[in-house]
């Protein structure tokens, strides 16, 4: 599938994906391959896995650079001649950002600034992977113009990245856009609440320990829909530092997720559930649900609901790690 119209002009022929071996990066690289584009990927493999590159590693127009975006030489090599950059490389962990705040700022904010500066030298567009954590505990549903009051260092570093994207667009006329991702899941997810539940139930289906109270209420968007939204923002959105919520537009409590998973596995009434109480981790936002009307105006319409998405994620898990319940 060749990109057409505005998407083609903004992506160009050669695209860089930072953090290419991550969950989102690997899926995005596969999508770019389907468009016939030349793809460069950079990853230091601190979180990324070669398995995530299964959709693209045999593609003749794919080049993988093992390196860190904070390494000037590696980043300069990766950015050379690219028309657009999807900047996904980051510390993805809210708990780790609380433990190592300076390191988190370097990985997320400083790295983003370095990518933007290389993009400016090469006249490349930048698509920044931001996060719903920029809002903190916000009013629901949350529109893009809601005040930003992050409660985690991770969220603060993402705000900084967005702000620099905006200033580079304003000062230098660079094309930039930020996708504020909600909880993305799907095949190849190896972290997050769903993966955690699958793993625990596989180890012992008679019990399930749940972090927090179970009342945490969040939006979960499937990876395919998240990529659709991101590419729509590039194709039809404002590339002048604009921000777009990318989510399902619905929210579910952890208790609801537990009930759905136990029902799918036919474990209702057979699994004892233990809620640890308190916060799942420092800085964890308790309730999220995006207002996605802004990106819907571009044509975004999520196709994969929570039930179908859970079945898909579960199917991948069992293919990779064996049956959850024999």
**Catalytic site residues?**
154
292, 226 contact by CB (below 8 A): no
Structural tokens at position 147: 């005040």
CA geometry: angle 309, 314, 317, nearest 5 deg? 130
In Å, how far are 207, 232, 252, 258, 262 from 23, measured between CA atoms?
28, 20, 22, 23, 25
**149 contacts 212 by C-beta, under 8 angstroms:** no
Positive/negative CA dihedral, 232, 233, 236, 239: negative
Using CA atoms, how far residue 30 sits from 94, 152, 231, 284, in Å, is 27, 31, 13, 31
In 3D space, the residue among 55, 75, 58, 56 whose CA is nearest the CA of residue 66 turns out to be 75
């Amino acid at each position: 599938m060749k990109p057409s119209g505005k998407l083609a002009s903004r992506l160009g022929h050669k695209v860089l994906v930072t953090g290419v071996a991550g969950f989102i990066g690997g899926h995005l690289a596969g999508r770019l391959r389907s468009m016939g584009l030349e793809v460069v990927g950079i990853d230091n493999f601190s979180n990324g896995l070669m398995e995530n590159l299964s959709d693209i590693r045999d593609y003749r127009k794919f080049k993988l650079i093992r390196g860190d975006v904070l390494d000037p030489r590696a980043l300069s090599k990766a950015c050379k001649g690219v028309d657009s950059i999807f900047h996904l490389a980051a510390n993805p962990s809210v708990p780790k950002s609380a433990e190592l705040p300076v390191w988190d700022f370097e990985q997320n904010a400083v790295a983003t600034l370095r990518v933007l500066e290389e993009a400016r030298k090469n006249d490349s567009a930048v698509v920044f992977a931001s996060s719903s954590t920029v809002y903190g505990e916000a009013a629901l549903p949350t529109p893009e113009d809601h005040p930003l009051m992050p409660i985690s260092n991770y969220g603060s570093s993402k705000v900084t990245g967005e702000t620099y994207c905006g200033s580079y667009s304003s000062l230098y006329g660079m094309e930039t856009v930020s996708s504020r991702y909600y909880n993305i899941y799907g095949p190849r997810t190896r972290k997050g609440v769903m993966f955690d539940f699958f793993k625990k139930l596989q180890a012992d289906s008679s019990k399930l320990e749940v972090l927090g109270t179970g009342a945490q209420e969040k939006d979960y968007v499937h990876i395919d829909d998240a990529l659709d939204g991101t590419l729509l923002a590039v194709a039809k959105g404002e590339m002048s530092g604009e921000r777009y919520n990318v989510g399902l537009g619905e929210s579910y409590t952890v208790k609801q997720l537990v009930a759905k998973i136990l029902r799918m596995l036919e474990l209702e009434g057979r699994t004892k559930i233990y809620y640890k109480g308190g916060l799942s981790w420092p800085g964890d936002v308790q309730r999220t649900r995006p207002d996605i009307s802004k990106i819907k105006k571009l044509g975004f319409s999520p196709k994969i609901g929570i039930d179908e998405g859970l079945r898909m994620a579960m199917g991948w898990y069992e293919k990779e790690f064996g049956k959850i319940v024999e």
